[in-house]
Structure 1
Amino acid sequence: MKALVCILLLLETFVFVVQQQVDGGLNENEISQQISSEDGRQNPPKTDTLRAEASTDRQQYCDLGIPDIHAALRELTATVTEQKENIRELTTTVTEQKGNIRELTATVTEQKENIRALETQLREQQMFILEEMNKKDEEISNLTLSQVELRKENRDREIAFSASLMESGSGYIGPFTTEITLTYRNVFTNIGNAYNPITGIFTAPLKGAYMFRVSVYGHAGTAASVYIIKNGEKVVSAHDHQAQNPDALNSSNGVVLILEVGDVVYVRLWSGRRIYENQNIHNTFSGFLLFPLREQELCRM
């Protein structure tokens, strides 16, 4: 610090001298005289003594500051050397950190690639799952439609009926001089409404194989005989006759018929024959669809 003050004082004196030379071209004697005159005007008579003391102090101060300058320079050099070493260490550290950063950057880039690959794989899996779900939904929808159609088809196939002659009371039917169609008015079952209790006629709503059965009951003395008729043609009969035995007459028969849509089946009482009915319900007519037939199945049969 002392060295710096000394140097500043010397520089100040040097600048002053140079400035005076530039301004007036004064020589050293003139400068000294001017300084002396100015000191005489501004200071009391003791100025020379004070100037001498100040000059002596300044010289001593500067002399004392020179060793301080060398020490400061040595200290500064050591500091600079230390800072250079620190800079080298910092440079090495920075270089190492840059390498670490590059490694981290490469790792991050690799991880990003992995993440993108995983995202792509996840999207593909999601698309696959969605496609599978859509397929399952479509299969379920088709299955549901098939079930609905099957139920509807099964409902269409649910054809069956059963009926007896009289809804109430008792009595004979016949004999007649011609054959008559019997009307079984007491309906027990008529699934599909293919049987008409007013006319006594069953009309086939589907092509298929149908089972029909008829039973008759009568009293001795007059035969009890009926036919199952298909489209006006006799198919099978149920007949019983006992001229001498007073016991009741009983007979039944059945048949499986292949019917087209619109074919009719009914029961006729023979001419001259008689049947009897009461609350015990002896005379019945029934039928049902065994299974529907397609055209090719009918051809094989």
Structure 2
Amino acid sequence: MKALVCILLLLETFVFVVQQQVDGGLNENEISQQISSEDGRQNPPQTDTLRAEASTDSQQYCDLGIPDIHAALRELTATVTEQKENIRALETQLREQQTFILEELNKKNEEISNLTLSQVEELRKENRDREIAFSASMMESGSGYIGPFPTEITLTYKKVFTNIGNAYNPITGIFTALLKGAYMFRVSVYGVGGTSVTVSIVKNGEHVVTAYDNQPQNALNSSNGVVLILEVGDVVYVRLWPNTRIYDNENKHCTFSGFLLFPLR
């Protein structure tokens, strides 16, 4: 409060001096006297009462302000220490959670890996069950004619090159479908001029496609193929037509082959 009064008096003096200079000015002595006069009014001699009040204020500041600061610092230090303990506890909990999560992830990865290997093995087994293919030629050894006959006959291809799935029977010459699916079959024939060569691929007793050639002399060659949709148990084989003949030797001209393109549901 005292400081505010002093500031107001100084401002009053400053305004007065400025006003005097504007009106005509004061000399330096007058200005000095004016300032001295104002100082006298602002700062009267300090009495014992004022000195006692000042001393009392200072003592109260020392008694109240400084102890409060120390108490606040002690409280702040205690709070920081508590927060550090909380942080350490959270870090420990986080490390434990991370360890647990990593262990669970490793378990899941191992389970997925085992499951994947199991599925792959199952698919392999399933595919092995679906692997069906065969290829065979007429003569197992040597050479010779087959035919002519007065009626159709089923040809038996005795020299087996491939018989995956054992769906072809070299004794009967018959292929039996083990799975429902789309199958590819092909037949090739060879003969000598003078007698025609004619064979047909037959499904369940029905002629499907025919390989045929006829000329008076020289070699005869023909082939044909077909894709068939077969049910389980359907049979496919080759029939030699009546009054025709084929010839085979170590070069394996006459062949019958087939394989599963893809299974069907």
Q: Tell me the TM-score normalized by structure 1.
A: 0.60
Q: Distance in 1 between matches of 2:253 and 2:106?
A: 61
The alpha carbon displacement at 1:191 in A equals: 1.4
Q: Distance in 1 between matches of 2:103 and 2:257?
A: 55
The alpha carbon displacement at 1:106 in A equals: 6.2
Alignment of 1:176 with 2:176, yes or no, is no
Q: Once the two structures are superposed, what CA deviation does each residue of 1:104-129 show, in whole Å capped at 9, x if it has no partner?
A: 87666544322221122122222222
Structure 2: stretches of 5+ with no match in the other structure: 1-69
Task: State which of 209, 216, 230 in structure 1 corresponds to 2:182.
Answer: 209
Q: Distance in 2 between matches of 1:208 and 1:142?
A: 29
Q: Distance in 2 between matches of 1:235 and 1:194?
A: 20
Q: Once the two structures are superposed, what CA deviation does each residue of 1:110-166 show, in whole Å capped at 9, x if it has no partner?
A: 443222211221222222222322332222222212211221222223211110011
Q: Once the two structures are superposed, what CA deviation does each residue of 1:11-65 show, in whole Å capped at 9, x if it has no partner?
A: xxxxxxxxxxxxxxxxxxxxxxxxxxxxxxxxxxxxxxxxxxxxxxxxxxxxxxx
The alpha carbon displacement at 1:170 in A equals: 0.8
Q: Once the two structures are superposed, what CA deviation does each residue of 1:230-271 show, in whole Å capped at 9, x if it has no partner?
A: 1111111111112xx311111100000011122111111112
Q: Distance in 2 between matches of 1:200 and 1:104?
A: 99
Task: State which of 199, 205, 230 in structure 1 corresponds to 2:203.
Answer: 230
Task: State which of 97, 113, 116 in structure 2 corresponds to 1:140.
Answer: 113
The alpha carbon displacement at 1:217 in A equals: 0.8
Tell me the amino acid that sits aligned with residue 204 of structure 1.
A
Say which SS state the counterpart of residue 271 (structure 1) adopts.
coil
Q: Distance in 1 between matches of 2:102 and 2:204?
A: 60
Q: Distance in 1 between matches of 2:129 and 2:148?
A: 39
Q: Distance in 2 between matches of 1:212 and 1:267?
A: 10
Say which SS state the counterpart of residue 144 (structure 1) adopts.
helix
Say which SS state the counterpart of residue 127 (structure 1) adopts.
helix
- Between 1:108-117 and 1:269-278, the stretch displaced more is 108-117
Which structure: greater helix fraction? 1
**In percent, how many aligned pairs have the same letter?**
63
CA RMSD of aligned residues (A): 2.1
Bigger-Rg structure (1/2) = 1
Say which SS state the counterpart of residue 233 (structure 2) adopts.
coil
Tell me the amino acid that sits aligned with residue 257 of structure 1.
L
Q: Tell me the TM-score normalized by structure 2.
A: 0.67
Structure 1: stretches of 5+ with no match in the other structure: 1-95, 295-301
Tell me the amino acid that sits aligned with residue 159 of structure 1.
I
Alignment of 1:218 with 2:191, yes or no, is yes
Q: Distance in 2 between matches of 1:277 and 1:147?
A: 44
Equivalent residue number for residue 255 of structure 2: 284
